Amino acid sequence: MTPRAGVPQPPSPESSPNSSDSRLLRQLLQAVSKMGSLLTQTDRTLNDVTVRQSSIEDRLSLMEQRILRIDSRALEVLDQDRDTNDNVRKAVADIGQMADDVRDIRNLANDNDT
pTM: 0.45
Neighbouring residues of 9: CB distance < 8 A, sequence distance ≥ 6: 3
Provide the CA 54 distance to its chain's centre, in angstroms. 8
pLDDT tens digits in sequence order for the chain, 114 residues long: 566 666 666 555 555 556 888 889 999 999 999 999 999 999 999 999 999 999 999 999 999 999 988 888 888 888 888 889 888 899 999 998 999 999 999 888 888 776
Name the DSSP class of 16. S
Neighbouring residues of 14: CB distance < 8 A, sequence distance ≥ 6: 21
For residues 101 and 108, give the distance between their C-alpha atoms in angstroms, rounded to a whole number: 10
Q: Give the pLDDT score at 9.
A: 65
Q: Give the pLDDT score at 60.
A: 94
